[in-house]
């Protein structure tokens, strides 16, 4: 009885923390989508590299607007191995006019951070459902 109660308390605590993290991620992406309204065509001018603790490489593209009169330099907020560009590639961004360093890729399939956040929030649910299915056998 006590063990079952402990499992229930820890399960509820885990659920509350998981739900809080997922809601924060949802809020981050929905605010970014709301704020990033201005289209901007940019060229990849540099790709910064960084070695991971496991010996792999991760990359961070640096962009400049395709319009030579605009000298704004934009770089991705984080390093990733999920988005790969080459120097000279042209990319369409949706930027926040008040903070041009905050952007989304116009092609949503390039917003890999968003995809990773969604998968990260779904995995515990998938594991739990699989556990329930397998435990009933």
Domain with residue 72: its CATH number is 2.40.50
79 conformational bin, left if phi > 0, alpha if psi -120 to 50, beta if neither: beta
19 inside domain: no
Quote the pLDDT of residue 82.
Answer: 67
10 inside domain: no
| CA triple 72-73-79, angle to 5 deg | 155
Quote the pLDDT of residue 77.
Answer: 64
Query: What are the pLDDT digits (tens) for 77-111?
Result: 667 776 678 889 998 999 898 887 788 888 887 77
Q: Give CA–CA dist 66/92, Å, rounded.
A: 10
Residue 13 in this model has a pLDDT that exceeds 70: yes
Give yes or no for a contact between 18 and 127, defined as CB atoms under 8 angstroms apart.
Answer: no
Sequence-separated (6 or more) residues with CB below 8 Å from residue 112: 80, 82, 83
What is the residue range of 81's domain?
Answer: 36-135
Domains of the chain: total: 1
Mean confidence (pLDDT) of the chain: 84
Residue 37 in this model has a pLDDT that exceeds 90: yes
């Amino acid at each position: 009885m006590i063990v079952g109660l402990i499992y229930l308390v820890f399960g509820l605590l885990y659920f509350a923390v998981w739900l809080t993290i997922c809601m924060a991620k949802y809020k981050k992406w929905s605010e970014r989508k709301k704020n990033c309204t201005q289209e901007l065509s940019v060229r990849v001018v540099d790709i910064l590299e960084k070695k991971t603790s496991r010996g792999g490489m991760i990359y961070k593209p640096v962009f400049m607007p395709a319009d030579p009169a605009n000298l704004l330099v934009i770089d991705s907020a984080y390093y990733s191995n999920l988005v790969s560009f080459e120097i000279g590639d042209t990319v369409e961004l949706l930027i926040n006019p008040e903070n041009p360093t905050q952007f989304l890729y116009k092609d949503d399939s390039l917003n890999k951070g968003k995809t990773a956040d969604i998968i990260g929030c779904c995995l515990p649910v998938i594991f739990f459902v699989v556990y329930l299915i397998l435990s009933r056998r």
